[in-house]
Amino acid sequence: MTPFELISGGQVEVEDGAISYAGPKRTAVGYIIDHTADLVCPGFIDLHVHGGAGADTMDADPEALRRLSSYLAAGGVTGFLATTHTAPQEELAAALRRIVAAQRMGTPGAQILGAHVEGPFINPEKKGAQDGDHVRQATETELDALYTASGGTMKIMTLAPETGDALKAAEWLVERGVVAAAGHTDASYEEALRAFDRGVTHLSHFYNGMRGLHHREPGIVGAGLTDGRVDLELVADGVHVHPAALRLAVLAKGPAKIALVSDSVKPAWLPDGEYSLGGRSVHVKGRSITLGGGVIAGSGIRLNDAVATMVEEAGVALTEAVQMATDTPARILKLTPRKGRLVEGADADITVMDWSYRVLRTIVGGETVYEAEGP
């Protein structure tokens, strides 16, 4: 899967960490890995992931990001944005510096492609599981401090465009090549359009943490579905968004404007039970991770699970689901055609799944970083 074309009996050839051929099967030389019965895709790219398997991007432990990269690779992810959450400026800056250091050193699994700063400039009325004690208004001083701490690796910042000087902040971000995203927002339809006019081009975890759709006041959800200037993130875990709403988004926007994200958090893939997340207790039950009262606190999935949900529950074509996990996020990060596609010259980032969406092998830069054990 290129991802736009499904080639039966296809072949991918890799040389010096890059793809040298992708197409119909032909005579091959060199070391051969046979996945004839499986599905070979471009590597998945997760734009919004906080943690998993007991590791968090905000952890002071420098090994946390390395553990997170291995956890993600087992779900077919070859690149990700380490995502922070609302916290004091000093904590955010320290987390961003650790992300930069880990990116420079390299990780054993998925590559760190940069940082996604979610908050702190959000609407407290739509904070969800974000810590309301640290929600604040955007200032150029803090924006500059966080951008500097990120070493220029900040790729996305999520804010509420209707609050304070958030529109000026969006313009500030765009001037520096950072994607200005709206999230945890109560923006009306008109406020959303003004934000799009000022450079907001991305809606984080669409539907969740934002004013919903009403037929007399479409809100930012209605604006997102109908305005071609913006991309959407979807958390396809069967908990955040109903399958019908997932399908509606694809019908309205098309797969080229939707990125599947995990929004995975630290307790993801740990046994069911109670855990601490950002100093608060959360309950894990399967894919569901909630605060008291049932507030969703993130997901327990990886992107192979999201692809499965889109196909099996939302009724989306497999090629489209894979596109939303590969080419679309790569395009949002301005990494196409180097990433997100199986084409000559692209990085050899490859995900292999069986037809039940179980990841069998993950390859980053031509090297296997994850291989499933057993059948």
- List the one residue out of 191, 193, 190, 219 whose CA is nearest residue 206: 219
Residue 51: predicted pLDDT: 96
Cα–Cα distance list, 3 to 40, 236, 256, 280, 352 (Å): 9, 19, 11, 40, 12
Domains parsed from the chain with CATH numbers: 42-339 (3.20.20.140)
The confidence score (pLDDT) of residue 329 equals 98
Q: What was the pLDDT predicted at 189? A: 98
Known catalytic residues are 263
Within 10 angstroms of residue 13's Cβ, the number of other Cβ atoms is 17
The CA–CA distances, whole Å, from 296 to 221, 230, 240, 289, 357 equal 18, 24, 8, 6, 25
126 has pLDDT over 80: yes
Encode 264-278: b = buried (16+ Cβ within 10 Å), e = exposed: bbbbbbeeeeebebb
Percent of the chain scored above 70 by pLDDT? Answer: 100
User: Which pLDDT band, with edges at 50, 70 and 90, does 331 fall under?
Assistant: very high
Residue 52 has pLDDT above 90, yes or no: yes
Using alpha carbons, list the distances in angstroms from residue 27 to 1, 30, 33. 19, 10, 14
Binned at pLDDT 50, 70 and 90, residue 192 comes out as: very high
Q: For 14-31, what is each residue's pLDDT tens digit? A: 999 999 999 999 998 899
Extract the runs of DSSP E, i.e. beta strands, from 85-215. Answer: 111-118, 154-159, 179-182, 200-203
Confidence of residue 231 (pLDDT cuts 50, 70, 90): very high
Give residue 288's pLDDT band: very low, low, confident or very high (50, 70, 90). Answer: confident
pLDDT of residue 286: 84
pLDDT tens track for 164-186:
999 999 999 999 999 999 999 99
**What pLDDT, on the 0 to 100 scale, is given for residue 66?**
97
- The dihedral of CA 258, 124, 150, 67: what is its sign? negative
Identify the pLDDT of residue 109.
98
* pLDDT-based confidence at residue 83 (cuts at 50, 70, 90): very high
